[in-house]
Structure formats: C-alpha cells, structure tokens
A = this chain, B = another copy of it.
C-alpha cells in the first residue's frame, strides 16, 4: 500500500520509518522544506500545482500537521481516503468549535468566552476574572498569537498585539501538572489508549514527557479515556489522536487536541510495545491495532535549538537517540532522546544526566522532583 503524507517534517519521517516494516511505501507532499528526504518520494509543491500528481501515486492519505486547509483535505477525500477525516481538521483549526465539541461531549474545559473587539475582550476578562489568556481563534500554536491579561485594562494592548479579528478568551487554570493521552482508533472502530504521560513545557515548547505519568489515579485515567473515546467516536476518527489536559485539584480539564501523532507520544518508540507511529499507520491502512502497553518506564527529552553533545548521549546505555536531520535554529525541534528505566527514581537521575549534554535544557521540574 502506498501512503501519501501531507507534510515532510519529523512526524512524517517517523511515520515512514514505522511503516516500511509493514511493507508500506510513502510519498510526501510538501509545501515548504523536505527533512524526510531519503525516506520516500517528496513532491515539493509551493504553488499547489502537483496535488493531482501526488494523489495518482498513493492509495491513502494522512497528514502530519493540523494546519492543512480543510478545503484541501475535502478535495483530496473526493479521490482518495483521507485519515483522519476532514472534520477532525476542521474542529482542531477552530478553538471555538473544539471547545464547543468538548462541552457537548461532557469534557471539562477552562471557562471561555469569544471576543470580536478590544471592548468585548475587556468584557470577557471582567466576566471570567483575570488572569485570562486570549488566543486567536483560528491560528497560532506553540504559544504564538496569544497574550495573557493580568487585568481587564490590558485588553487594548493584547487586542493590538495578537492582531486577529476573533479571539478565544480562557480563564487561567490552576493546574498541578500537564498530562496528555494518546489514543488510536481503527477503521473498524476499535479504540486503544496508551498510558498517559506527564508533560513539562518550557517557554511554550514541550521539553519532557514521562510515561506512564507518575502517581496518576486510575480514576482520572479512566475519565480521560472516556473523554477521548467520546471524541474519537463522535468524529468517526481513524488514526492517532492526542488530547492535552491539565490535572487540577478538581480533576482533569481539557486543553486541546491534535489530530495526529504527537510529540508527547514519542516515548512510545522504545517505551511501548507498539509506537504511536506504527499504530497510526496500522489504523490508516486498516490493520488491527498494535499493543499500546508500556515497556517499563520512560521519559522523552526533546533536543531543542542545538544538538549538544550527542556523542556523550550515545554512550549512555539507557538512552535512545532519534534525530530529525534538521539544521540548528533557536527553538527548533531537532530530535529527541528516549530514556528508559526500571524505577522513577532511576528515571529522574538518568533524565538529568541526559539533559546536562543538551544546552539550554530547562530544569527537570516535574512531579518526580517536587
């Protein structure tokens, strides 16, 4: 089976690496660069001229990023199956639609309002109670297109700085930690969950994911499983879906979802029986899903901006290196290291040992270190 991937970044690269052993072949359709070069044909199409050519070379289509125009996904779906389907994209590209769906399915979210002007932003901040965070409704990720309002008086400046015509305003959530759940749904409706991960962000970028998340109550994990199952079924979803949540004193609060393999699931490459990448390919190709159980404890450490002392990391007997073959640039995801251990105590020290060779790694501040 020939699988077409929209996008040719590290996620597409890792999907292909997981898919070749299942006898799939890959064609990438890329609108920017081509870091997946070498792992299949790459069709570079800055002007959108070669989409038909791409489609003629593939049997099914998936994507590695959720910013794909929904019309493009819909156009493609008229000639080749696209998984996940266009509706998942549509929901994930629109914060209002996403939060509304969460609400409809009984998934708790931060309190939110929409704003169409500096005045309505101010009103929303007053109504919700500051601090609030304002985000452009349809664009921006990794902390871009956002502003924090400490007081309603910040509204005018925030409106100006974001520069979009429709904003979602969310009340700050007082969370103890960030967690995520990766699930996969097959063409036949079969659903499987990975153990949840605890995530550590720094300056809006994921830095560490520990899985299974330490000291997570089974009741909360079951709740989260119910939330993502509702989403998967409602969207008649096929493939891997990621759901980011906040853990609070009152339980879980959903932050956002991503209709694709997710950075907080990279630990599954050595830390689970089947990686999220293989499971996404299995789902898209219509195979039975693979075992999502953890193999011991693991922590994913992102390599951001600079490669650091890779040779020293390669010497560590518990570290698995995954490079994306990208040039160094501040804030850029260049690779990750999966650290394995038999106990959380061991994991903590091993992660710190890896992080010392990665310049600019933030302190490993998580539930294990508090």
Contact = CB atoms under 8 A, between A and B. Distances in A.
Contact of A311 (B288, B290, B317, B340): B288
A29 interface: no
A128 interface: no
Interface residues of A, number: 35
Contacts of A250: none
A37 B37 CA distance: 13
B315 A288 contact: yes
A282 B314 contact: yes
- Which of A20, A321, A323 neighbours the largest number of chain B CB atoms within 10 Å of its CB? A20
Give me the 6 closest cross-chain CB pairs, A-B, nearest first.
A291-B317, A23-B323, A288-B315, A21-B322, A23-B325, A288-B314
A77 interface: no
Nearest to A21: B322
A321 B21 contact: yes
A321 B41 CA distance: 24
A100 interface: no
Contacts of A274: 320
Interface string A255-295: 00000000000000000011000000010000110110101
A38 B293 CA distance: 30
Interface in A105-158: none
